[in-house]
A and B are shown apart, each in its own frame.
Chain A
Amino acid sequence: MSEPLLTVEGLEVEFLTRRGRVQAVRNVSFGLGPGQALGLVGESGCGKSVTSQAIMGLVQLPGRIVGGDVRWKGRSLIGPDAADYRREVCGRDIAMVFQDPMTSLDPLFAVGDQIAEVLVRHRGLSQAAARARAIELLDMVHISEPQKRVDQFPHEFSGGMRQRVLIAMALASEPELLIADEPTTALDVTVQASLLDLIAELQQRLSLAVLMITHDLGVVAKLCRDVAVMYAGEIVEDGPASRMLHTPSHPYTAGLVAATPTLALTRHRLETIDGQPPDLRLPRTQCSFRPRCANATEICSVAPDLLPLGDGKGRLACHNPVKTQARAAIASDAVHEAHTASFDAPLLSVNNLSVHYPIGRHGLFGRRDVLKAVDDVSFDIRPGETLGLVGESGSGKTTTGRAVLRAVPVTSGSIVFDGQEITVLGREPLRRLRRDMQIIFQDPYSSLNPRMTVQDIVAEPLIVHGLETEPGRLRDRVAHLLELVGLPADAAERHPHAFSGGQRQRVGIARALTLEPRFIIADEPVSALDVSIRAQVVNLMQDLQSQLGLTYLFIAHDLAVVRHIADRVAIMKSGKIIEIGPVEDIYSSPSQAYTRALLEAVPEIADNAYGVTGSNGAPSSLDAPVV
């Protein structure tokens, strides 16, 4: 058994807000040994990021550490007395990579200088030596032409490249522990895959310990031998990934695993975890998961302790654990009915659509450059069908959706909706078209006017189209719509701020349905939501489709979600559709190399690098309870 490098013991962090103290981290304990890779998993607000910040001494007002200890090689890192020790250890022995590579580098300093200053500070290198080493480090993270790149500024690097620079910076002084806080969440899936490979490679080569903070169980499966799941500020279960990902004991872990969409299954109804995480301002009197738990009984009114499971399986905080339940068992039932039929005339037919934007010119009289955001794109969507439109950022998928709505100017091509050419429509016919064609937005926060009540938001389409003005009937219509999307009736009187992300997305769906459209463009409708909430919204959209006979254009970057909801899928790259066809065909036998690369890049639970049964018997410091 290895002696822990890092010990977190009874950590408590709270945030001061006007409406109460949020207990973000509650009594969290774990240890991490040399070369060990631990995945700290949970949904937003569960306290996983705050835990990592507490380790690095980055918790600042309004947050503060109110209890517990963090020790590095036995010496505390917490509190003002430890400030000098912390500044020595952080950056030298423990390094951290953050979620947002775009803002993590100082924009006014060359990247080489930012790497070099770590070496000057912690390794006492001269400027020249530090610079030479910075070039080597850039080379190590596979940045080409490092001699040239070392003097460039952050804005000259793409997001993925910046994350590589940040990894190089983190590894500059050869740390023993790398903390990675959602390092790939902001990046495209292929970039994510290459960065995860890089981290795995460096972990092997430098025998680094890694603490990977993520919401994505697929990422954990790829990199981590051990997993700890956090819920409402606490660790509810931990243990070897081989057990956690396949035979989890805590109902929440099991729910997370089941709610994570997978590439292997088509049109399978996702398992959901009903409800939402608890209010962390309230004192903990019962098991935090009890209100959402199917296994809950009377005993759950007493909060369970995190106790060792024995024989190296980790720890668990649950009175009524899930009986051994293999993931495959769920898969057998409830395959959603695919819309096979349809030799009907298409509802929407897009032919040779192009959208070009001017982007400056060469010289005063030179040729004007254009960005071909959408370049000669054609597809049909039949009534009642869902077409998934998948691509990475900048592929033109969102612009295609906007062009179909005539929200951006179309350069050339035709869009025929219900037998009518809509690229030539004038102002008023276009307004009438809005009644048949609506949109669901990605960001549930910015898509609702904060100054309007839900009633006003949902009723607005009826008012502006002059379809209904009588207040009583408007209220009835809104009440009906809210019921349809699973919101309580009293939601109508409140402002958007009173709702969580998932609930806001339901309001956005209700608004899109108000005019009873036949066709809805869903622009990444679930990518801003947590896994368990995402499953709820995806299921809602499927239910509404079969109830109301809706036709969807489902735009997404997430191949797994598209597999669950779409009948056919189109893959976009650089403004073009490179491949289109039925979901089964594309996912099982893609004809394009790019599609294959996309599919391979998706980290999947099933790809667990450490096996399914845990039979490899890898030593894990989690075996031993800390303290």
Chain B
Amino acid sequence: MSVADSDNTLGGDVAAPPVSDTPLAGGYWADLRADTPGLIGVICLGTLFFIAVFAPFLAPYDPAAQDIISRLQPPVWMAGGSWEHLLGTDHLGRDVLSRLLHGSRISLFVGFATVLLAGTFGVLLGLISGYAGGRTDQWITAIIDTQVAFPGLLLALLILAVIGPSMTTVIVVLALNGWMVYARMTRSVVLGLRQTAFVEAAELLGCRTGRILIRHLLPNLAAPLLTLGTLEFARIVLAEAALSFLGLGVQPPATSWGLDVAQGKDYMFRAWWLVTIPGLAIAFTVLAINLIASWLRVTTDPVEREKRYARRFGAAG
């Protein structure tokens, strides 16, 4: 009996194109370079991180320093603008650029902390629920279903009103509102994987539960969770901005883009840049994250990758 002379996987039925569970051939980086929007997203988010980390060194002024004399100055490219304040000043004469740079810290930190907190809790419950099954699964599912049916943002408002707004409260409130998606996804992926023969094989080989969870289930969960976490990150950045805009998020003298939009609202007609600039910053950040998420979604799913390739090719030719 001879061994196959080629290792092609195309012996399979060609009518359904031969997409398999191929891990990325050249790694994520090679794939990223082929995907312009994804690359732009990664570069933008990288820059934002750099800014967030080094904001105190990059910002020309203290973001909280008031200067009533030079209040409501327009940005440099407009009549009346000056090189002193590149993006102008607000109603208290604070430098808009400095506030913008410092604001990135809040957005990214809240986003990260919330995703980490909600993700850890949700994935843990989802793993337990999906793997243990039976009563445990029924209870956890019931809790998830009940909480999903809660009026989320309003309940968050109530918590913030009772406990008092701060960055920590914002993170906790958003995590409380967001863990269910991770739990649901983890549970459904685990349930699906439990049906697969390779997990059954591991059980019948005598693998213990811990090994099955860590060696066989988690690696196959990584890709969908990464995509979900990125999408949630974008959503959290928007939610933090909204809460701060409502005055229930970060409190002055701390800076947040949402807060800046709220404060600029009253000067909208006289000083449009006070609303426009921090708003653009939020949109820009969220767009960068969303670009990364949509790249990840396609790139970690071999079926999606194959489809995208064929469509591009078909659309081009």
Give A residues with C-beta under 8 Å from B.
15-18, 22, 24, 44-45, 47, 49-50, 53, 61-64, 272, 274-281, 291, 405, 407, 431, 434-435, 438-439, 441-443, 445-452, 460-461, 464-465, 486-488, 494-503, 508, 511, 515, 536, 539-540
Given contacts A277-B11, A451-B219, A460-B202, 17 further A-B contacts (CB under 8 A): A18-B305, A18-B306, A22-B18, A53-B15, A64-B314, A434-B204, A446-B197, A447-B197, A448-B198, A448-B201, A450-B220, A451-B23, A460-B207, A494-B7, A500-B8, A508-B201, A539-B1
Q: How far is the CA of A499 from the CA of B9 in the complex (A)?
A: 6
Min CB–CB distance B216 → chain A (angstroms): 6
Q: A434-B205, A439-B201 are in contact. Are A540 and B5 (CB under 8 A)?
A: no
A449 touching B216, Cβ below 8 Å: yes
Min CB–CB distance B55 → chain A (angstroms): 39
Q: How far is the CA of A487 from the CA of B21 in the complex (A)?
A: 21
Majority secondary structure of chain B interface residues (helix, strand, loop or mixed): loop
A438 touching B204, Cβ below 8 Å: yes
B6 adjacent to chain A (CB < 8 Å): yes
A501 touching B11, Cβ below 8 Å: yes
A501 touching B310, Cβ below 8 Å: no
Q: How far is the CA of A465 from the CA of B204 in the complex (A)?
A: 12
Q: How far is the CA of A445 from the CA of B22 in the complex (A)?
A: 12
From A18, A50, A279, A464, contact of B207 by CB (8 A): A464
B21 touching A497, Cβ below 8 Å: yes
Q: A22-B14, A497-B9, A500-B9 are in contact. Are A62 and B3 (CB under 8 A)?
A: no
**Smallest CB gap from A431: residue in B:** B206
| Per-residue A-contact encoding for B279-317, CB less than 8 Å = 1, 0 else | 000000000000000000000000001110111011000
Q: How far is the CA of A524 from the CA of B2 in the complex (A)?
A: 23
Q: How far is the CA of A275 from the CA of B5 in the complex (A)?
A: 6
From B4, B20, B23, B203, contact of A502 by CB (8 A): B4
B5 touching A291, Cβ below 8 Å: yes
From B4, B23, B211, contact of A450 by CB (8 A): B23
Q: How far is the CA of A451 from the CA of B206 in the complex (A)?
A: 19
Min CB–CB distance A153 → chain B (angstroms): 26
From A49, A281, A536, contact of B13 by CB (8 A): A49
**Smallest CB gap from B305: residue in A:** A18
Interface centre among B8, B23, B208, B305 (most CB of A within 10 A): B8
From A280, A407, A508, A515, contact of B14 by CB (8 A): A280
B205 touching A61, Cβ below 8 Å: no
Min CB–CB distance B125 → chain A (angstroms): 23
| Per-residue A-contact encoding for B17-39, CB less than 8 Å = 1, 0 else | 11011110000000000000000
From A62, A407, A450, contact of B203 by CB (8 A): A407
Q: How far is the CA of A280 from the CA of B14 in the complex (A)?
A: 10
From A16, A24, A452, contact of B314 by CB (8 A): A16
A-B CB contact pairs (8 Å), 18 listed: A15-B17, A45-B10, A53-B15, A61-B311, A62-B311, A275-B5, A276-B11, A280-B14, A431-B206, A438-B205, A441-B197, A441-B200, A447-B200, A451-B219, A486-B3, A499-B7, A500-B7, A502-B4
Min CB–CB distance A487 → chain B (angstroms): 6
- List of A residues within 8 angstroms of B14 by Cβ: 15, 22, 24, 45, 47, 50, 280
Q: How far is the CA of A488 from the CA of B2 in the complex (A)?
A: 10
Instruction: Scan residues 213-252 of chain B and give those whose CB is less than 8 A from a CB of chain A.
Output: 215-216, 219-220
In the complex, the 7 A-B pairs of residues with the closest C-beta atoms, listed nearest first: A62-B310, A450-B21, A447-B197, A61-B314, A279-B8, A434-B206, A497-B20
B253 adjacent to chain A (CB < 8 Å): no
Min CB–CB distance B11 → chain A (angstroms): 5
Q: How far is the CA of A503 from the CA of B4 in the complex (A)?
A: 8
B12 adjacent to chain A (CB < 8 Å): yes
A500 touching B11, Cβ below 8 Å: yes
Interface centre among A272, A442, A503 (most CB of B within 10 A): A503
A18 touching B4, Cβ below 8 Å: no
**Smallest CB gap from B20: residue in A:** A497
Q: How far is the CA of A447 from the CA of B10 in the complex (A)?
A: 19
- List of B residues within 8 angstroms of A62 by Cβ: 17, 306-307, 309-311, 313-314
Q: How far is the CA of A502 from the CA of B208 in the complex (A)?
A: 29
- List of B residues within 8 angstroms of A464 by Cβ: 205-208, 211
- List of B residues within 8 angstroms of A278 by Cβ: 6, 8
Q: How far is the CA of A540 from the CA of B1 in the complex (A)?
A: 8
- List of B residues within 8 angstroms of A53 by Cβ: 15
A405 touching B204, Cβ below 8 Å: yes
B1 touching A49, Cβ below 8 Å: no
B314 touching A276, Cβ below 8 Å: no
**Smallest CB gap from B196: residue in A:** A446
Q: A17-B18, A446-B198 are in contact. Are A44 and B6 (CB under 8 A)?
A: no
Q: How far is the CA of A319 from the CA of B311 in the complex (A)?
A: 40
B18 touching A486, Cβ below 8 Å: no
Q: How far is the CA of A441 from the CA of B309 in the complex (A)?
A: 33
| Per-residue A-contact encoding for B178-220, CB less than 8 Å = 1, 0 else | 0000000000000000001110111111111001000110011
From A45, A61, A272, A434, contact of B12 by CB (8 A): A45
- List of B residues within 8 angstroms of A501 by Cβ: 11-12
Min CB–CB distance B208 → chain A (angstroms): 7
From A17, A277, A448, contact of B310 by CB (8 A): A17
Min CB–CB distance A432 → chain B (angstroms): 8
B9 touching A498, Cβ below 8 Å: yes
- List of A residues within 8 angstroms of B13 by Cβ: 44-45, 49
B201 touching A50, Cβ below 8 Å: no
A49 touching B15, Cβ below 8 Å: yes
B10 touching A536, Cβ below 8 Å: no
- List of B residues within 8 angstroms of A281 by Cβ: 8, 10
B6 touching A276, Cβ below 8 Å: yes
From A280, A460, A496, contact of B21 by CB (8 A): A496
Q: How far is the CA of A494 from the CA of B8 in the complex (A)?
A: 13
Q: A16-B314, A17-B309, A443-B197 are in contact. Are A500 and B12 (CB under 8 A)?
A: yes
B10 touching A279, Cβ below 8 Å: yes
Q: How far is the CA of A15 from the CA of B10 in the complex (A)?
A: 11
**Smallest CB gap from A48: residue in B:** B15
- List of B residues within 8 angstroms of A22 by Cβ: 10, 14, 17-18
- List of A residues within 8 angstroms of B211 by Cβ: 464
Q: How far is the CA of A549 from the CA of B215 in the complex (A)?
A: 32
Q: How far is the CA of A501 from the CA of B211 in the complex (A)?
A: 27
A498 touching B7, Cβ below 8 Å: yes
A17 touching B306, Cβ below 8 Å: yes
Q: How far is the CA of A277 from the CA of B5 in the complex (A)?
A: 9
Min CB–CB distance B183 → chain A (angstroms): 23
**Smallest CB gap from B2: residue in A:** A274
**Smallest CB gap from A272: residue in B:** B1
From A50, A64, A275, A446, contact of B2 by CB (8 A): A275
Q: How far is the CA of A386 from the CA of B203 in the complex (A)?
A: 25
Interface centre among B15, B20, B208, B310 (most CB of A within 10 A): B15
Q: How far is the CA of A487 from the CA of B311 in the complex (A)?
A: 37
Interface centre among B7, B215, B306 (most CB of A within 10 A): B7
**Smallest CB gap from B222: residue in A:** A451
Q: How far is the CA of A383 from the CA of B305 in the complex (A)?
A: 50
- List of A residues within 8 angstroms of B202 by Cβ: 449, 460
Q: How far is the CA of A64 from the CA of B20 in the complex (A)?
A: 21
- List of B residues within 8 angstroms of A460 by Cβ: 202, 205, 207, 215
Min CB–CB distance A357 → chain B (angstroms): 14
B1 touching A16, Cβ below 8 Å: no
- List of B residues within 8 angstroms of A508 by Cβ: 201
A497 touching B22, Cβ below 8 Å: yes
